[in-house]
Structure 1
Amino acid sequence: MAHSIPALVNSQMLAWAREEAGYTLEQAAEKAHFVIEKLSSWEKGESMPTLRQAEKLAKIYHRPFSVFSLSQPPMMTPLAAEYRRLPGITPGKESPELRFALRQMIYRRKGALDLLEELGDHPEPFSLNIKMGEAPEQVAERIRSALGISLATQKAWPHEFRAWHSWRMAVENLGALVFQFSKVNVTEVRGVSLLEFPLPTIGINTKEIPASKPFSLLHELVHVMLARADEEKPALLETRTQPAWMELERFAEAVAGAVLMPADAILSEYEVAGKSTTADWGISEIQTLSRRYKVTPKAMITRLLILHRCSPAAYRRWTDAWEEYLKEHPPRPGGGIATPAEKALNRNGRSFTQLVLEALTHDRITAVDAAHYLDLNFPHIETLRRNLAMARQFETETVGVD
């Protein structure tokens, strides 16, 4: 029977695949429900797994089964040579979930470049760049102008879902790809970017609430712009000290906040203009302002602190009160149940999705290729094609967009 057929695998490749996936021996054994001694024995070549056991490992490691038959590991660029430095993440020690998300982003970016070549087209050049010495407020004005989103448009959006989709499409129009990744703990990473040109690529964690995603998106955009000016290197090559790196992170946060909440606009709001700089802010006051700009209350109070419209003491009192408020009023999941086509668009973004469908229409790729690129079964690809042709706006956000 199949469950007892031995798999003719290279023990060295079993260990390589596990390590590349980011699993320790203990983690892999636990996830696969194997005895650790048995998995160790397979990797040492002392015994062999059955066909089903090897197939299970291939699925967990997100590798084709055939990789276990290679004579030696393939030459691969380290992941940390492509993604930006992340706070608290040691290159090469990323979680299995983050490593898979990064691999998917890299695969889709390369796929986009290949498809453009097949179609005889070229990627949109990404020209925006910034230097660390620039003033965040001035940088924010340039970014907002490049994105083409007016303050009136931002305030007119009916909800945070529309805000997220609009900011995302505006960033994609600059010549970048924006993907969403799932299954990664939001405490590990909210956003990440591949500092490669052309087609720099940004990934946003689906576990972020919609109101937080634009901030994470713009934060990553700043990192991409710094890299374009040769001010920042991928994680493996970044040599800044920790204090210097945190200064860069604070710069990116300040710029992202200034894009979403322009200083002149915030200071002219009647709730702000009539408030003493030392006065306390109420939860409802900040919620009102944050809803107006489609940002989180925490982002709004932080912006007021930066603009000196909230004292450090008042900021600490507000954040303490906010933590208590969240305990009593935990955030509720928004949106409904997305269709497979909607999930694919949320995951892949409009630019990449349209590129894949264009290549399919012009017979540059097969239906199987398209399904693989979009991680979507073919019958749903036709639904996706029809929806895009009708310019339908996908605004369904769910927990399950993976």
Structure 2
Amino acid sequence: MAQAHVNSDILSWARNRARLSTSVLAEKLHVKEEKLQRWEAGEEKPTFRQAQDFAHHTHIPFGYLFLNTPPADELPIPDLRTIGSHGPLEISLDLRDTVREVLRRQLWYREYQIDQGRDPITVVGSVSPNMSVMSIVENMRSHLGVGRWPDRGRWDTYFNDLLRRIEALGILVMRSSMVGSNTRRILSVKEFRGFAIADGYAPVVFINTSDCPEARLFTLLHELTHIWLGESGVSDGEYGSHRKVEKICNAVAAEFLVPEDEFKQRWNSSEEWRWNVGALASHFHVSQWVSARRAMDLGYIDFEEYQAFISQRLADYKAIERDGAPRYSLLQTLKVSKRLAMAVTSEALSGRILLRDAGQLIGIKPHKLAEYARQELGI
């Protein structure tokens, strides 16, 4: 069979970029590890079919294999995940592909907004990092139309209410636990919890739903603060970041959800701290994860106690038996945001964009778009 004259350096780059060992990739390609090593050493060439399989399993375009040098592979938005003195964290292929997929949808929606004659969304970049935390929180509450905390409901009710209010302002909220619909490419919570794209016409908040549901409320507010500050970036939301913008976003999210003065007033020093965390979570209608984080912020518990607490809650979440996943159409709506889904579907059904293009944007088969619009979106 004809050989593909690929660049052996690109083979090594692509494999390392995909975080695959030679043994694992060789198994996927159904070749001996020694053969793959000879390809990378330039001693042998793969066939065209083997080269195509290689590109598929390393998640790169086939044409990349013939480049003289690896292409620029920068993350399209700032990486704000530097923790303490450890320096920048490695960026996985899963994170890169997720950011690029979200940007593809965001750019479509941006052009749509401009074509519709819409004005820029005023909250994007409306506050300064030099403002006080309280001033930023009050600005956000005012635009969202919420009080200091809800007077009823569970934390997940609060989460869903905030989602509706955020999207009503024109901010897209996208959520997913995997790259595209690939269940073998699960997003890592250890790598990132969310990211924000602070664009004036099409701002986006993305939440990694591999995380424990209780943590997502804090992530939502953290990333939303990025939008208000006009600062795009990937975050892990961890305590202890030395970056100014991350410190501000953490502080704003905490104060928005759990006001310091009320928290301190209601903390009962005669009770064990876990009792307080549960009681205050109920009072503020937030999750115990958020309540525990606030307790750590304010010095009621130390970092080790907090870390052990949330690790246990994440383990408990993963151990829960699911009754079944939500229907696919709902998952796709959550993945792309209802606002984007409605815009794309409306344009497709009115003939202004191809059904094929609409289906690729929101992950719905073209022949099912009308049914999806009726049953899932109510249009």
Please report the TM-score for the alignment, with normalisation by the length of structure 2. Answer: 0.77
Q: Which residue of 2 aligns with 1:240?
A: none
**Can you give the 5+ residue segments of structure 1 that lack an aligned partner in the other structure?**
236-242, 392-402
Per-residue CA shift, 1:6-46, capped at 9, x if unaligned? 46464369549727954466487267355454345445654
1:245-324 map, 5 Å: 245-263=242-260, 266=263, 272=266, 275-276=267-268, 278-304=269-295, 306=297, 312=300, 319=306, 322=309
Shift, 1:74, TM fit: 9.3
Shift, 1:85, TM fit: 1.5
Change (3 A) 1:198 1:250: same
Shift, 1:353, TM fit: 1.2
Shift, 1:215, TM fit: 0.7
Q: Which residue of 1 aligns with 2:174?
A: 179
AA of the residue aligned to 1:250? K
Change (3 A) 1:19 1:387: same
1:201-240 map, 5 Å: 201-226=204-229, 228=230
**1:90 and 1:195 mapped to 2: Cα distance?**
24
Shift, 1:320, TM fit: 8.1
Change (3 A) 1:267 1:333: farther
Change (3 A) 1:109 1:26: farther
Shift, 1:106, TM fit: 1.9
Q: Which residue of 2 aligns with 1:398?
A: none
Match of 2:358 among 341, 345, 370: 370
Change (3 A) 1:204 1:28: farther
Asked if 1:145 corresponds to 2:142, the answer is yes
Secondary structure of the 2:91 match is coil
Shift, 1:133, TM fit: 3.3
Shift, 1:289, TM fit: 3.0
Change (3 A) 1:62 1:126: farther
**2:23 and 2:90 mapped to 1: Cα distance?**
13
Could you tell me whether the CA contact under 8 Å between 1:169 and 1:350 is conserved in 2? no
Could you tell me whether the CA contact under 8 Å between 2:196 and 2:203 is conserved in 1? yes
Could you tell me whether the CA contact under 8 Å between 1:82 and 1:234 is conserved in 2? yes
Could you tell me whether the CA contact under 8 Å between 2:281 and 2:288 is conserved in 1? yes
Could you tell me whether the CA contact under 8 Å between 2:123 and 2:227 is conserved in 1? no
Asked if 1:97 corresponds to 2:94, the answer is yes
Secondary structure of the 1:212 match is helix
Change (3 A) 1:389 1:136: same
1:39-54 map, 5 Å: 39-43=36-40, 46-54=43-51
Q: Which residue of 1 aligns with 2:7?
A: 11
Q: Which residue of 2 aligns with 1:61?
A: 58
Per-residue CA shift, 1:59-92, capped at 9, x if unaligned? 3333444x3476667976721x523421359669
Q: How many residues align?
A: 362
**2:89 and 2:264 mapped to 1: Cα distance?**
44
Shift, 1:179, TM fit: 1.9
Match of 2:77 among 82, 95, 98: 82
Asked if 1:156 corresponds to 2:147, the answer is no
**1:342 and 1:92 mapped to 2: Cα distance?**
33
Q: Which residue of 1 aligns with 2:335?
A: 347
**1:288 and 1:91 mapped to 2: Cα distance?**
38
Shift, 1:158, TM fit: 4.9
**1:341 and 1:330 mapped to 2: Cα distance?**
24
Shift, 1:347, TM fit: 0.9
Shift, 1:324, TM fit: 9.5
1:124-139 map, 5 Å: 124-139=121-136
Shift, 1:345, TM fit: 0.9
AA of the residue aligned to 2:93? P
Per-residue CA shift, 1:367-392, capped at 9, x if unaligned? 2111211123335433431134438x
**Can you give the 5+ residue segments of structure 2 that lack an aligned partner in the other structure?**
179-185, 235-239
Please report the TM-score for the alignment, with normalisation by the length of structure 1. Answer: 0.73
Shift, 1:120, TM fit: 5.8
**1:318 and 1:52 mapped to 2: Cα distance?**
54
AA of the residue aligned to 2:81? L
Change (3 A) 1:164 1:49: farther
**2:125 and 2:356 mapped to 1: Cα distance?**
36
Could you tell me whether the CA contact under 8 Å between 1:177 and 1:349 is conserved in 2? yes
Could you tell me whether the CA contact under 8 Å between 1:125 and 1:175 is conserved in 2? no
AA of the residue aligned to 2:369? I
Shift, 1:167, TM fit: 2.3
Change (3 A) 1:12 1:377: farther
Asked if 1:168 corresponds to 2:163, the answer is yes
- Identity score, percent: 20
Could you tell me whether the CA contact under 8 Å between 1:286 and 1:297 is conserved in 2? yes
Q: Which residue of 1 aligns with 2:349?
A: 361
Shift, 1:361, TM fit: 2.2
Secondary structure of the 1:211 match is helix
Per-residue CA shift, 1:203-228, capped at 9, x if unaligned? 211112222112112112223333x2
RMSD: 4.0
Shift, 1:97, TM fit: 1.6
**1:87 and 1:147 mapped to 2: Cα distance?**
30
Per-residue CA shift, 1:95-119, capped at 9, x if unaligned? 1221221221222222222444565
